């Protein structure tokens, strides 16, 4: 029997909560309040791992005896981070940039227990079809892009335009759940098989 420890999910993301629920993982949610600004010259993989750990640490202060799970996801194209768009025009700009091209989705994951952190990274490649201006506008206006890195949700309207995914689909949704499991089972030692 696999014993999945009850966790505190340091996130307000409904997508992350849905993924946790779908695999039967018991958790509560507590939303961290941290500065998500990039540091000057920071590489995208370092950025998402740093933010995941910072989110976990911020929430751990309120849940000292709990296992804390935090994640941070971003989209990277041409070595540039595409975070959450600031408005619909910014979302359209991002979607035009992604149109017809491969990009990477990076998620940093941190599991924190008793002051010990296990931090990991998941990379997934995603290819968008060429999109017309009308399709970009449709996706920006109907796809609820403002709370999503890269201005899209793979499991919603953006699915109409996704030509390929190489790697972990759940990473693109927002939480690479198999990485979470591996971190807990092998690195932090907080669960029993």
Closest CA to 70 of 149, 189, 167, 183: 183
Q: DSSP state, 11?
A: -
Residue numbers annotated as active site: 72
Closest CA to 106 of 133, 130, 77, 127: 77
Q: How far is Cα 7 from Cα 26, in angstroms, rounded to an integer?
A: 7
Contact 95, 139 (CB under 8 A): yes
């Amino acid at each position: 029997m696999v014993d999945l420890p009850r966790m505190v999910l340091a996130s307000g993301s409904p997508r992350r909560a849905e993924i946790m629920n779908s695999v039967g993982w018991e958790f509560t949610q507590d939303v961290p309040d941290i500065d998500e600004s990039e540091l000057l010259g920071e590489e995208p993989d370092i950025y998402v791992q740093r933010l995941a750990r910072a989110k976990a640490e911020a929430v751990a202060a309120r849940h000292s005896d709990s296992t804390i799970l935090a994640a941070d996801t971003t989209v990277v194209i041409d070595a540039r981070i595409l975070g959450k768009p600031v408005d619909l025009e910014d979302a359209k700009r991002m979607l035009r940039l992604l149109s017809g091209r491969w990009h990477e989705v990076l998620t940093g994951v941190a599991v924190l227990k008793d002051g010990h952190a296990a931090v990991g990274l998941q990379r997934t490649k995603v290819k968008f079809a060429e999109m017309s201006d009308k399709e970009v506008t449709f996706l920006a206006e109907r796809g609820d892009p403002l709370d999503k890195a890269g201005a899209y949700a793979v499991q919603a309207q953006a699915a109409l335009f996704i030509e390929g995914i190489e790697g972990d689909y759940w990473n693109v949704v927002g939480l690479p759940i198999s990485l979470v499991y591996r971190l807990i089972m092998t690195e932090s030692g907080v669960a029993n098989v």
